[in-house]
Amino acid sequence: DVKVTQSSRYLVKRTGEKVFLECVQDMDHENMFWYRQDPGLGLRLIYFSYDVKMKEKGDIPEGYSVSREKKERFSLILESASTNQTSMYLCACGGSLNTGELFFGEGSRLTVL
């Protein structure tokens, strides 16, 4: 079974703080993704990565950056957290060229005060 582990399940940060969300996968997938989930909006893609040191913007990259220094690890960075970044953040890996199937972590619930 593919295992995707997100470092923090729950975080509370203050406006302006820097936030790191880390994700590790154990199945050697090239593709890794960061989504955020908000009620009524579903899952929206923030950034994704096809390979080490490669990154591509998704639909809502503003206010975020990412880092992929090793194949198994994909980090999401909020340089200066804002209240509108309060959300559930989901990391995923996979993305078969044929089907796009993804394997998700359990999510990180971030609250920015």
Partner 1 sequence: DQQVKQNSPSLSVQEGRISILNCDYTNSMFDYFLWYKKYPAEGPTFLISISSIKDKNEDGRFTVFLNKSAKHLSLHIVPSQPGDSAVYFCAAHNNAGNMLTFGGGTRLMVKP
Q: How far apart are CA 68 and CA 54, in angstroms?
A: 7
Of residues 1, 15, 23, the one with CA closest to residue 71: 23
Tell me: does residue 1 bind partner 1 (CB under 8 A): no
> What amino acid is encoded at 110 in this protein?
L
Among 42, 53, 62, 84, binds partner 1 (CB under 8 A): 42
Select from 12-20, 43-51, 63-71, 73-81 the region that touches partner 1 (CB under 8 A): 43-51
Among 44, 63, 71, 73, binds partner 1 (CB under 8 A): 44
Q: Closest CB to partner 1 among 35 and 64?
A: 35
Select from 11-19, 66-74, 79-87, 93-101 the region that touches partner 1 (CB under 8 A): 93-101
Among 7, 17, 58, 71, binds partner 1 (CB under 8 A): 58
- Give how many residues touch partner 1 by CB under 8 A: 26
CA dist 71 → 18, 32, 50 (Å): 24, 9, 9
CB of 22 to partner 1, least distance (A): 15
Please give the sequence-ordered ranges of beta strands (E in DSSP) within 2-107, or none if there are none.
4-6, 10-13, 19-25, 32-38, 42-49, 56-57, 65-70, 73-78, 87-94, 102-104
